[in-house]
């Protein structure tokens, strides 16, 4: 009678241990899956960050080109003014130069508008990327917290399993 009760109790404990082992295995698989997801997110974030850095660099190069062009236009204007004042005989040539410069100057507002639009777009994209990066960092922190909780649960389950093994050995003895 007593042996049957002990036998039944041991079978119940073994079943519980088997279920705990399966739960632990499932938890390990979930942790590995989460870690892979985190690694993928980090990879995507780094790619996006590199792409944005390249775009920002290109935008800065465009800005430098426009600034250089503006400086060239200013220098051309200055030269034209000096020629008009210094040489009355060159008035006809200066008038032609003035027309050329007028055409250039008429383009300046649209160029400046385009530069401002590009700068605004780049600024907005950088802000969006920073927000995305912040979100990825928060997701990574949440996943790290989940992983720590799962590891804590895993160690508690392992401790329980060791305790059950000791109980089983005590009962066997």
pLDDT tens-digit readout, 97-150: 889 889 988 998 998 999 899 999 999 999 999 999 999 999 999 999 999 999
pTM above 0.85, yes or no: no
Whole-angstrom CA distances from 117 to 63, 67, 79, 121, 131 are 12, 15, 31, 6, 21
Q: What is the pLDDT of residues 30-81, one digit of tens each?
A: 999 999 999 999 999 999 999 999 999 999 999 999 899 999 989 998 887 7
| Orientation of helix 91-172 relative to helix 2-86, angle to 10° | 170
Q: Which helix (H) or strand (E) holds 40?
A: helix 2-86
- Quick one: CA torsion of 156, 162, 164, 165, rounded to 10 degrees? 160
Tally of domains in the chain: 1
Give the pLDDT confidence score for residue 139 in this predicted structure: 93
Give the pLDDT confidence score for residue 151 in this predicted structure: 96
- Asked if residues 159 and 25 have their Cβ atoms less than 8 Å apart, the reply is no
Quote helix, strand, coil % in the chain, to nearest 5.
Answer: 100, 0, 0
How is residue 92 written in tokens?
């006809």
Q: How far apart are CA 6 and CA 97, in angstroms?
A: 109
Burial of 125 (0-12, 13-18, 19+ CB in 10 A): middle
User: Is residue 90's pLDDT more than 70?
Assistant: no
Q: How far apart are CA 62 and CA 41, in angstroms?
A: 31
Residue 91 has, within 13 A of its CA and on its CB side, a CA count of 2
Domain extent for 94: 2-172
**Could you tell me the CATH number of the domain that includes residue 29?**
1.10.287
Q: How far apart are CA 79 and CA 98, in angstroms?
A: 11
């Amino acid at each position: 009678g007593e042996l049957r009760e002990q036998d039944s109790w041991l079978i119940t404990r073994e079943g519980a241990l088997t279920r705990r082992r399966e739960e632990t295995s499932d938890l390990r698989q979930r942790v590995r899956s989460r870690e892979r997801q985190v690694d993928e997110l980090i990879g995507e974030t780094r790619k996006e960050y590199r792409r944005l850095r390249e775009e920002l660099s290109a935008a800065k190069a465009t800005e430098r080109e426009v600034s250089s062009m503006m400086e060239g236009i200013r220098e051309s204007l200055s030269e034209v003014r000096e020629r008009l004042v210094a040489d009355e005989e060159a008035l006809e040539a200066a008038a032609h130069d003035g027309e050329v410069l007028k055409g250039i100057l008429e383009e300046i507002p649209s160029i400046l508008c385009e530069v401002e639009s590009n700068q605004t777009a780049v600024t907005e994209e950088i802000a969006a990327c920073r927000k995305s990066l912040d979100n990825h960092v928060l997701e990574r922190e949440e996943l790290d917290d989940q992983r720590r909780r799962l590891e804590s649960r895993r160690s508690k389950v392992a401790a329980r399993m060791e305790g059950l093994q000791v109980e089983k050995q005590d009962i066997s003895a």
